Structure 1
Amino acid sequence: MDTDAIFKALANPMRRQILQWLKSPEQFLSADECGGFEKGVCAGQIEKLGQLSQSTMSNHLSVLQQAGLVTVQKHGQWSYFSRNEALIQQYLDVLKNTL
């Protein structure tokens, strides 16, 4: 776990918002529109929520992925993102024990 990469990723409010959307996607998106959430949330749906350009949102998702906070599954041309709950919990434990 790279705590510096996680701190950097979480420093941006949009990235924290993305993690919140991924935590409870049913609060923000229609399961029918997304084809359910079993695979995660499609990058295009995250882009619509954020109302950012595709390239900007792609960069935010890439930073989260590099930090290990999200995982991605490719299905054809689509990328589905999910939170990495195990790493998030590990990070919270480190914070609790060190700060």
Structure 2
Amino acid sequence: MKEEKVINDAKFIDMFKALSNTTRLNILQMLKEPEKNFSPQVHIQKGDDFSGGICVGDIRDKIGLGQSTTSQYLSLLQQSGLLEMKRIGQWTYYRRNEEVIKQLENFIGENL
């Protein structure tokens, strides 16, 4: 059985801060359905075990911001726990951390 990692209130505050920006919220929403919002990711192979991951460049192109701003936004979302990141070759991929998002949903339902 998979052990669920407990998140403290400070981590939830970090998540709310990360979501307080329209573009960061849009990134998370687009990554909810990556196959609908992005072209196929040709550098991810079945053995890489990172399905749903999207390359930083594709995310940057979709949101229309510069590389440094896009990277900063993705880093903030990752540090808050809402995204997972994996380097595959020379590319960096991000996907939603569904376990953490579910815990955020439960926190809101139970505490707010």
Tell me, yes or no, whether TM beats 0.5.
Answer: yes
Q: Which has the higher contact order (CA 8 A, sep 6+)?
A: 1
Q: Deviations over 1:38-63 (max 9, x none)?
A: 26000110000011000000010011
The residue correspondences of 1:41-60 to structure 2 (distance < 5 A) are 41-60=54-73
1:68 maps to 2:81: yes
Q: Return the match for 2:36 from 14, 27, 35.
A: 27
Max radius of gyration: which structure? 2
Q: How many residue pairs were aligned?
A: 97
- C-alpha separation between the residues in 1 aligned to 2:61 and 2:111? 37
Amino acid paired to 1:8: K
With structure 1 as the length reference, what TM-score do the two structures score? 0.92
Q: Percent identity?
A: 42
> Which one has a larger percent helix, Structure 1 or Structure 2?
1
Q: Which residue does 1:9 correspond to in 2?
A: 18
With structure 2 as the length reference, what TM-score do the two structures score? 0.81
What are structure 2's unaligned runs of at least 5 residues? Answer: 1-6, 45-49
